Structure 1
Amino acid sequence: MLRNLFISLLYLTIATIIPMVCHATQVKIVAITAIVEHPSLNEIRDGVKDELIAQGYKLNDNLIVQYQSAQGNSANAAQIAKQFVANKPDVIVAIATPSAQAVAASTRIIPLVFAGITDPVAAKLIKSFSPTGTNITGVSDYLEIPQQIAFMKKIVPNLKSVGYVYSPGEINSTIVLKELQEQLAKQNINIIAIPAQRTADIPTAAKNLKSKVDLIYTTTDNNVVSAYESLVKVANENKIPLLASFPDAIDRGAVAAFGMSYYDVGRQSGKLVIRILNGEKPGQIEPETGQETHLVINLDAAKRQGVILPDEVIQSAHRVIGKK
């Protein structure tokens, strides 16, 4: 009888402990998708992963991170979204507007954290920067346009005309264009905006700015970033300063960039993912805007594009490459 009682207690103990152990070692799955691969978006992805690891998760142990790029194709983004939803991860992180819109259209249940989206309200992902009450939260990379214009005038003090190449189908770019038009007009600065629907159209669009502008301003328009060297070539050949709103542009040939640290946007997004994995509802988490901005300078590009940078601008930079 004592033996049977011992066995019964043993089974009861095992039945109690196993679920506790399984819960303690439960593997979390985070699925990350981006509309295209380029340095800024890759930095967001890496920042998310690094934040998860910094918070104690171990890749391929208690954390599985899935990643897929849509390679610049909206149809691919929709297919990836459906595939991720079918796999039922704990959280989906969608980088850039088209990918976030595709995921939002595919699920209202699985938590969605958007990242690197200029205007998530205009993209109809959220109604405001208040808790949504839905499955969506995230981090915007919105930059104040007056600050961007002030940055342009530091590089070209007598600024009269700005060139802007953009994809008309990319909402981030059209929103920035509208704000640029409004803000530049207040300062009697003209803007020449050239649409480029496809990546292959970027070189022709860039050439159309020759002899018409004092500088070319670029944002994280995915088509433009994918063909950035085309803009650099036109800027170098025609001595037009090329400026950007994303820091990694200087490594590709821009003179200067003032914008979000996309790695920090990723870390910030990763913190939201952690909160969801810890049990918070995404609809109760207030969407955020990126907090870290950097000014970066490429002195070699400045020489190629005929720009003399003031010492105070160089000294205020977060990072400087090249030689004066």
Structure 2
Amino acid sequence: MKKKIISMLMIMTMAAACFAGCGGKKAVDNGAGADTAADGKIYKVGIIQYVDDASLNQIVDNLEKELDAIAEEKGVTFNYKDYYYNGQADSTTINQIVTELINDEVDVLVPIATPTAMICQSATEDNQIPVIFAAVSDPEGAGLVASNDAPGANITGTSDALNTEAILDLMMEQDRDLQKVGLLYDKSQDASTAPIKAAKAYLENAGIEVVEKTGTTNDEVMLAADALCAEKVGAVFTPTDNTIMTAELAIYEKFIDAGIPHYCGADSFALNGAYLGYGVNYATLGVETAKMVAEVLVDGKEPASLAVKTLDNGTATVNTETAAALDLDYEKLRDMCDGFVEIQTSKEFE
């Protein structure tokens, strides 16, 4: 399905005109179209993707595939094609999208990534539409749930929580003489707050100098990467940060040229040129999110009865092209991981 990217102009004219996105038409309830079915009940599934990047694309693709499989098995229909949007990391746009979906009376909201989930939470305080989020790194820290085992009344989902210590163990094993590490992240991303705090504590305890650089746009991230290269750090760590993920294709060659391996909190970073990504399988995350959607809509379970799902995040993904360019032997890391994947640079997962 070609993805619909909603511009601000489109959002402003939604109420005045029949909306047509870049990837399809908005649903029109004419009593016989997408919202009717002869074989079984149709559920409207509103999917709001925070931004277009390889990790989140994997989640959406596998979420949709699993919804289709469940629909065939259970004799129902999940209509997500008419209710999918990409907010392009713009909070005003995402707020407008969520309002539109609520007006469309969707049966569930599925926000992808922490900022989108927080907007959905706020928008459903009064109407209590079920919210099943995906890829929220710290649901409790973001205030989405009281705890992973005790979700909010109408909200739960899947988490891509990162084992920061494990990825830094890999970094230390790769270079036992490491003296200075760069931390590259977007300080406005809630997903980065806890792992950056954990990384600073780990590195400082190990007697390693820490250099922090941040950015909120591609241009700022590129400048931050240049600054880390100028600082001659021995390695760079980035958690599950969507801003840096979006910019990875623009910065990975800078790090290669400077001889700096980039360790990141998702496999998609490695696909986009970083030396190593470590974390959850985002395809599996999409599948598990779809299962939770079905539990709420088809099985009638309350979101509050479903604990947040946190996946095993013990898989390392190494970019073999980048490893060769950096002259790094990654084989010694293999036994430290539950899973080990070798890939080469591409624009995104197929």
TM-score strictly above 0.5: yes
Pairing of 1:125-274 with structure 2 (within 5 A) = 125-210=144-229, 211-274=231-294
Cα distance in 2, alignment partners of residues 160 and 196 from structure 1: 24
2:310 paired with 1:289: yes
Shift of the alpha carbon at 1:31? 1.0
Does the CA-based 8 Å contact 2:167-2:263 persist in structure 1?
no
Cα distance in 2, alignment partners of residues 46 and 55 from structure 1: 14
Give SS of 2:146's match. coil
Does the CA-based 8 Å contact 2:164-2:199 persist in structure 1?
yes
Does the CA-based 8 Å contact 2:98-2:123 persist in structure 1?
yes
Does the CA-based 8 Å contact 1:314-1:320 persist in structure 2?
no
Give SS of 1:296's match. strand
* Structure 1 partner of 2:333: 313
Cα distance in 2, alignment partners of residues 144 and 38 from structure 1: 21
Shift of the alpha carbon at 1:213? 1.0
Cα distance in 2, alignment partners of residues 116 and 187 from structure 1: 30
Shift of the alpha carbon at 1:292? 5.1
Task: Give the stretch that moved more between structures: 274-283 or 129-138.
Answer: 129-138
Q: Which amino acid aligns with 2:51?
A: V
Q: Which amino acid aligns with 2:322?
A: A
Shift of the alpha carbon at 1:182? 1.6
* Structure 1 partner of 2:29: none
- Between Structure 1 and Structure 2, which shows a larger proportion of helix residues? 1
Q: Which amino acid aligns with 1:193?
A: E
* Structure 2 partner of 1:92: 109
When normalised by structure 2's length, the TM-score is 0.80
* Structure 2 partner of 1:4: none
Distance 1:55 1:292, change over 3 A: farther
* Structure 2 partner of 1:33: 48
Cα distance in 1, alignment partners of residues 214 and 307 from structure 2: 34
2:68 paired with 1:53: yes
2:78 paired with 1:63: yes
Shift of the alpha carbon at 1:110? 0.7
Shift of the alpha carbon at 1:23? 9.1
Shift of the alpha carbon at 1:229? 2.2
* Structure 2 partner of 1:18: none
When normalised by structure 1's length, the TM-score is 0.86
Give SS of 1:75's match. helix
Does the CA-based 8 Å contact 2:179-2:209 persist in structure 1?
yes
Does the CA-based 8 Å contact 1:264-1:292 persist in structure 2?
no
Give SS of 1:28's match. strand
Which whole-Å deviations, capped at 9, do the CAs of 1:54-79 have from their partners, x for residues lacking one?
32349xx8221121111111111111
* Structure 2 partner of 1:14: none
Distance 1:220 1:236, change over 3 A: same
Pairing of 1:75-90 with structure 2 (within 5 A) = 75-90=92-107
Cα distance in 2, alignment partners of residues 261 and 293 from structure 1: 9
* Structure 2 partner of 1:15: none
Shift of the alpha carbon at 1:321? 3.2
Q: Which amino acid aligns with 2:168?
A: I
> Percent identity at matched positions?
26
Does the CA-based 8 Å contact 1:261-1:293 persist in structure 2?
no
Give SS of 1:230's match. helix
Unmatched segments (≥5 aa) in structure 2: 1-35, 345-350
Does the CA-based 8 Å contact 1:229-1:252 persist in structure 2?
yes
Cα distance in 2, alignment partners of residues 201 and 250 from structure 1: 21
Does the CA-based 8 Å contact 2:162-2:240 persist in structure 1?
no
Instruction: Report which of the two structures shows the higher radius of gyration computed on alpha carbons.
Output: 1
Task: Give the stretch that moved more between structures: 162-171 or 33-42.
Answer: 162-171
Does the CA-based 8 Å contact 2:71-2:77 persist in structure 1?
no
Shift of the alpha carbon at 1:158? 2.4
Give SS of 2:158's match. strand
Query: Number of matched residues?
Result: 299
Distance 1:311 1:286, change over 3 A: closer
Q: Which amino acid aligns with 2:124?
A: T
Unmatched segments (≥5 aa) in structure 1: 1-20
- From 299, 305, 313, give the equivalent of 2:320: 299
Does the CA-based 8 Å contact 1:81-1:99 persist in structure 2?
no
Give SS of 2:129's match. coil
Q: Which amino acid aligns with 2:340?
A: H
2:139 paired with 1:107: no
Does the CA-based 8 Å contact 1:241-1:307 persist in structure 2?
no
Shift of the alpha carbon at 1:24? 6.0
Shift of the alpha carbon at 1:183? 2.0
